[in-house]
Amino acid sequence: MKSFFSRSVGRFLSVGLKRSTKMRMMKHVLTCIGILSVSLSPVAAQDFWSWWGDGKGELSSYKVVVSRYGELREGYSVLVFVTEDISRTTRIKDDSGTLPPADRAPVLKLNRAVKFTTGIYDYSILTSTFSSVNSELDRKPFEPLKISFSAQEWCGHVFQMLIPQRDQVEFTLHSYFQGEGDQKRTIKLPPNAAFEDNLPIWIRELNGEVLAAGRRRELQFLPSAWFLRAAHKPADFQSGWIMKEEGEALKGTNGSAPTWRWTWQVGNRKETYWVEKAYPRRIIKWNSSDGGKGEIIKTLRLPYWQLHGNDDLPYREQLGVPK
């Protein structure tokens, strides 16, 4: 259950004020009570909402290496985890607070931003995964209700969206490449289906264990949107597996931490992620078989959507990402 503070803030924001006025007032209230703290609470969560219902998002920054055009590129990434409600019908965020309860689905959203340079020009990638907190569409909790992806670089930009339904996935693609053009089609949802872009949420086991240590599970994966984009592959499910094993203690942002090591293979490609054992089980680092990798820099818990003023730039310095 959400905290009293979260419910009270929600009622406060529902009054008839302009959105900009509400945001300024909300930021002032949060600042006064110290909710803009930049450190993680040492208290372990008793359940999902006791941690994720506090009105803040979790921002973790990473030094990354990305393989592109046959070479390794240095860059940075920010993984933003935050709860919100979306419509079961439209799969769009409820920012008005007026959705009927029957149409309101709570999700944990992961915005995965990646930025790097290829020679003269830049890449900017954002993948948004909306993972259901509860059981939806007769599937277990923490399965995606929507995955959207965009990539921008100096040649053009691409947008892709997946909307999982009960027995199929609605697929939309808009691309500047003639061979891809604009697409809208459906993909049959196979048994044991999994979405690679959802795995960074799934492996955190935020509301209980999803796979026992030492176990390996065979799955049909829809590869990540970035992999499909970089390889110019059509979206379709592929056979693969995922395994959870004991990992070594790694240096995180708060000292050495015991980890679980998660490995999955999709086709001929393999990914390995190290996740803290202690709640909230942050992702500490990852390695990819193509030479890509990521290593955590810093984690902040903030109402980041309000921190868009020039006086909020120091938060980027705290995260260790470029201004």
Helix (H, G, I), strand (E, B) or coil at 69: coil
The pLDDT tens digits of the residues spanning 95-112 come to 888 999 999 999 999 999
How much is the pLDDT for 179? Answer: 83
Ramachandran area for residue 12 (φ above 0: left; ψ -120 to 50: alpha; else beta):
alpha
Q: Report the pLDDT value the prediction gives residue 46, as an integer from 0 to 100.
A: 53
Task: Look at residue 138 and tell me if it is in a domain.
Answer: yes
Mean pLDDT in each 10-residue stretch from start to end of the chain (323 residues)? 42 43 43 36 62 96 97 98 97 91 97 98 98 96 98 96 97 91 95 97 96 97 96 95 96 84 96 96 97 97 97 97 92
pLDDT at 59: 98
Kindly state whether residue 22 falls inside one of the protein's structural domains.
Answer: no
Question: How many domains would you assign to the chain?
Answer: 1
Residue 24 lies in a domain: no
Number of neighbours of residue 216 by Cβ within 10 angstroms = 12
pLDDT of 16 = 45
Q: Does residue 252 lie in a domain region?
A: yes
Structural domain includes residue 143:
yes
**Residue 21 domain-assigned (yes or no):** no
Characterize the bridge pairing of strands 121-132 and 144-153. antiparallel
Angle at 6 between CA 304 and CA 313, to 5 degrees: 15
Domain with 102, as residue range(s), is 36-319
Cα angle 282, 225, 253; round to 5: 20
CA–CA gap between residue 132 and residue 166 (Å, rounded): 14
Contact 59, 78 (CB under 8 A): yes
Distance CA 145, CA 206 (A): 17
Contact 67, 116 (CB under 8 A): no
Residue with tokens 């499910």: 237
Give the whole-angstrom CA distance, residue 105 versus residue 208.
Answer: 20
For the chain, what's the residue count? Answer: 323
pLDDT of residue 135: 96
CA distance 159 to 157: 7
State residue 181 phi and psi, 5-degree precision: 55, -145
Distances (CA, A) of 245 to 171, 218, 233, 284, 302: 34, 15, 31, 15, 32
pTM of the model: 0.85
For residue 56, tell me if it sits in a domain: yes
Q: What is the DSSP string of 10-59?
A: HHHHTSS--HHHHHHHHHHHHHHHTTT--S--SSPPSSHHHHHTSS-EEE
Q: Could you report the per-residue pLDDT of 197-246, keeping only the tens digit for each?
A: 999 999 999 999 999 999 999 999 999 999 999 999 999 999 999 999 99
What stretches of the chain show up as alpha helix (H) in DSSP?
4-13, 19-33, 48-52, 199-202, 225-231, 314-319
On whether residue 15 sits in a domain, the answer given is no
